[in-house]
Structure formats: C-alpha cells, structure tokens
Amino acid sequence: MRLARLSALIAFITLTGCGGTPVGPFESNVNERTGESFAYAREPVHLVAVRPGLSAVGKDYLIVSPVTSSTGGRANTYLYFALASSIDRVLTGAPDPGFDSVVLQVDDTLMTFELEPWSEIANAEPMDLDVRLRASYATRVTRSQLAKIASAQSLSAYVTDTAHRSPLYSYSRGSYADWTQF
C-alpha cells in the first residue's frame, strides 16, 4: 500500500514537472549545408486570397514572418513572404501572381515593401512551411515597422507587379502580436 502511494506520488511529481515547459514565439535553426542560421516566428501569419474565377475551392496563400538571417558574423532582419497555392495553374492556364512589392494593410495604414527573391538573400529557405512554395521573397524591415504590424487589430495584403495587383489576401491564421520581441 505504502509502495503504491509512493509510486503514485513520484509519477505525479514527474508528470507535473514535464508539462509546464514554456514555448517561445520564435524558433531558430542552422542550415548545416550552408552555415546560415535563421530565427523566425513559430507561427507565421497566413493570408488567403480566394480565387473563385480560377477554382471552386483553390486559394492563394501569402505566408509572412520576420526572419533574421545570420552568416559570417553578420545578421540582417527581413520580412519574409512565401507564396503557396492550392490552385492547379497548369489546368487553369492562369499565371502565378507577379511579385514586385507587397502592400500590407495594417489597420488603416498601407505599408509598401519592395521585394527581392529570397534566393538572392540566402542559399536556403529559413523555415520548413510544410507546403509547396511557388516563390519566396523578402525585404529589409525595421523594428518600428515590426512594432507597427504587431500592434495591428487587422492585417491584410495584396501583391503587385509592374502590370497587375492581386486580389486581397485576408488574415487566416498565425501570430504577429509578438513581433515586437523579434
């Protein structure tokens, strides 16, 4: 009887100690092949554009996260944008949205970011998003810009190229309130 109580007490103490490990809002990894290290949001923001003219159920996704890229002792902070889609553009014949800039609508303020392909910034994607990316881009970002986004009550976006503007990408999921800690 006494041994059973002691075993139960040890099991209780062990289990209560394991369940309370806090998880921070950011993750980091090192690409061993390139030597680059990245820090990024654990839950990137997912913005969704419904495209009924192209597909009954297909959508375009814009995934957004602050990213710090470090290599050779230098670190730079970027706003990373990844484009994914569940639309079969081969079947529909529709082109991928062009990317020259992203306009984030942060509450009632428009913030325009000129983009460069992520491949010109780093040799590897900063995170595994578990989706097939069509393209990824980034732009340098300041702490004050991240703070403005973090304080937003609403967030949406559209992408542009020299000739077109995409439909509106609306907030779907992810966290941006903690970006001030980045």
Q: Where are the domains of the chain?
A: 2-181
The rounded average pLDDT for each run of 10 residues, N- to C-terminus, in the chain (182 residues) is: 41 45 76 85 90 68 92 89 79 70 95 94 86 89 95 93 81 90 80
* Residue 164 and residue 96 in contact, taking contact as beta carbons nearer than 8 Å: no
What is the model's pLDDT at position 96? 67
What is the model's pLDDT at position 101? 92
What is the model's pLDDT at position 97? 65
What is the model's pLDDT at position 90? 67
Residues 16 and 1: their CA atoms lie apart, in Å, by: 23
The secondary structure element, H or E, covering residue 144 is helix 143-150
∠ CA 66-67-68, rounded to 5°: 130
What is the model's pLDDT at position 35? 83
